[in-house]
Structure 1
């Protein structure tokens, strides 16, 4: 009996320590952006996904069509819609594939498929490139849209203002909004952004119809050399990949939906995804096809830049773009905030305080603003980031994870579909950055900071 006292004391101590660690872990999870709130409704999934997908990319689709041509362009648009819907369904299904566990973050699913370390090495770099890249591109997009509004409203006596100043104005909003704690707290911003995306897409194609087919319209490839045509084709593939991306935040969005064994989160999440993809089709196909039909190969890399009249309508559309990319920036920034704050709090043992959040998020916004000012090459950025980063995480990484976890029978329907997506995605990842990099170089030569 005398030897049981110390053992019992040790057990009680270990139990108390374990409870303290669990309480500390719960406090951290309740503070982190992704896991702090799980009361979202299915319609949150709908407008979060619309906001994540229908962004700057839709405005570049007529330009992508001009580089692809009618046949390949229509085929690639439709095929991308089908493939990305399929891979998004896979991610929704895999969110709770292990009973009693939720893969709240993309890298957690990767770790389950490939192992703790390898999963991090595979997923995190790609996810960060996508999310940080989108935030940079949206800094440029927001600044360019504000610049366009200034040009349309302020004619002759007005002094020209550098694009860099408009990017700073756009960034100033995010120095405020970035301090909203989690996904559910930005639901209102995301809803407004989703409505704006449908609104400015409608304005883009309807204003194109009103302007009519241009007298000198031409549908042949604009490049005068075979090499130029091929490089432009590759860049356009990246534009399409950028437009259809949104998978990088899918698991994080689903993490905000409540789940029980009787009512798993995949039900309401999938309902929201279907609604979102219907909206995506209503935005993408009319803008891409009508924009190209009206302007041909002379269309700008942002369709709104090709439209000058009616002035009030184009001004409104550009304002809608600004509101939308404000919401999109927040959607893509939230997982980055979660990664940084998780690292600081769990690995480096910083206290989860408002001061820590204030410093981290302001530094992030300032960094993306600075890079956006330094490299404001909209068209080239879409092509480069679209292929290099979005293709893996959107087109084929979910398929690889699915094959690694479920191991479908060789040559079965599931096995064949996933391998087709992987091959197409790899081609997209390899080819489109080549064209995108060329676009960046060409635009950099012509760029002036007042343009």
Structure 2
């Protein structure tokens, strides 16, 4: 009898919490992108997570390996995969730990763990740095991949007609034009088609990257020593590459928002289908990351570029196609990371500043956001350094150790229990990563900035 009692209490509790919202609040929640649609299936979670995780960062993994070396490189890659899967599991579990309530956004969980004000201040700045940072980096990546595609097609034309040289700036603008359209899709479920295409593309270009590397074979005179020849160079590059790896595992910033789209009842909580999707996504992540990182480094050693597709020139049609796949994938990734930002902006405008939730408010704010990320991308397109800098500075906390701190604060596991030890290991490694990686990334940005001309 007791067993059947709890769910009905929960249902009453659930319906009570829903009833407590006024009609106006309910209308606003139905309008906001994160809470407006709750009918996603488990496989939506799988491809949203793949799109969020397998960014263009995968293409810089062989380069990261060339700065880390075989031993540390393999260890860092495998450890990151295990730690981030563990912290992702924690976030999926914490989504509905209070009966009848869902933490639909990362900062809501932060507020539950650290208090109303402090939770906001801890989570929101970091989450914004990650999401806006990723969108800027993806603007650069999309533009560069279009640029590379154009260059390869021009080279391939046999009839001697040289294509006109087009600035990278214009390619970033072309890439941004897609987002001026797509960013008006209202919520996560409406971008599921874009996200599915992006997930398929990430598997495709990762396979092309390692497949073409295998076909090329181990290069003559390949060297596996560190790229840099000076000790400071080796150390700083090592630090920056840790940031590159952290950037590659950055899906946590949107995981609660993705889970918010899955329906939930006391009998069937959302964590079941969400976790199934996460496991599938992580298998795909392993299939993309490990072969690209290890085979790319094995074939080219320390002469590999910070984007493996640049190192692979032939066969031209295949590499051109891979670059186009990257463009399609990054379009999806940009949208996945932009959606929580749109949600934050629209929440502040509608709930705090009392704007009416209208289509033209959404039209204006989203266009301004896309224009802003485009402008910053055009101004600072240092791809590799930006990855290392943002990777350590904001990805390490939100991905590697913030979920662990929340877990310790909320569940308070017994001292020296397995859960307590595991969380503290993740926290220590994550803090080290947060301190070390930006130092290397900043040095790379400074070195590249010396030779850089604005808007070239």
Deviations 1:189-214 (A, max 9, x none): 00000000000000000001111111
Secondary structure, counterpart of 2:22 in structure 1 = helix
Query: In the alignment, does 2:189 pair up with 1:184?
Result: yes
Structure 1's unaligned 5+ residue stretches are: 1-17
Alpha carbons 1:152, 1:311 under 8 Å: kept: yes
The two structures, once aligned, show a CA RMSD in angstroms of 1.2
* In 2, Cα distance between equivalents of 1:151 and 1:52: 28
Deviations 1:140-178 (A, max 9, x none): 000000000011011361221111110000000000000
Aligned to 1:13: none
Aligned to 1:3: none
Aligned to 2:260: 255
Equivalent of residue 411 in structure 1, options 416, 419, 423: 416
Alpha carbons 2:379, 2:455 under 8 Å: kept: no
Query: In the alignment, does 2:271 pair up with 1:266?
Result: yes
Aligned to 1:364: 369
Alpha carbons 1:163, 1:449 under 8 Å: kept: no
When the two structures are superposed, what TM-score results if normalisation uses the length of structure 1? 0.95
Distance 1:26 1:220, change over 3 A: same
Aligned to 1:31: 31
Aligned to 2:383: 378
Alpha carbons 1:164, 1:449 under 8 Å: kept: no
* In 2, Cα distance between equivalents of 1:411 and 1:111: 26
* Residue correspondences, number: 434
Alpha carbons 1:301, 1:379 under 8 Å: kept: yes
Query: In the alignment, does 2:425 pair up with 1:420?
Result: yes
Equivalent of residue 343 in structure 1, options 342, 348, 361: 348
Deviations 1:340-364 (A, max 9, x none): 0000000000000000000000000
* In 1, Cα distance between equivalents of 2:231 and 2:242: 17
**Equivalent residues in 2 for 1:285-324, closer than 5 Å:** 285-324=290-329
Structure 2's unaligned 5+ residue stretches are: 1-17, 156-160
Alpha carbons 2:378, 2:455 under 8 Å: kept: no
Aligned to 2:4: none
Aligned to 2:97: 97
Deviates more, 1:22-31 or 1:147-156: 147-156
Aligned to 1:107: 107
Deviations 1:354-412 (A, max 9, x none): 00000000000000000000010000011001100100000000000000000000111
1:446 CA drift (Å): 2.9
Aligned to 1:202: 207
Distance 1:91 1:20, change over 3 A: closer
Secondary structure, counterpart of 2:305 in structure 1 = coil
When the two structures are superposed, what TM-score results if normalisation uses the length of structure 2? 0.94
1:416 CA drift (Å): 0.3
* In 2, Cα distance between equivalents of 1:230 and 1:19: 58
Deviates more, 1:222-231 or 1:333-342: 222-231
* In 2, Cα distance between equivalents of 1:153 and 1:314: 10
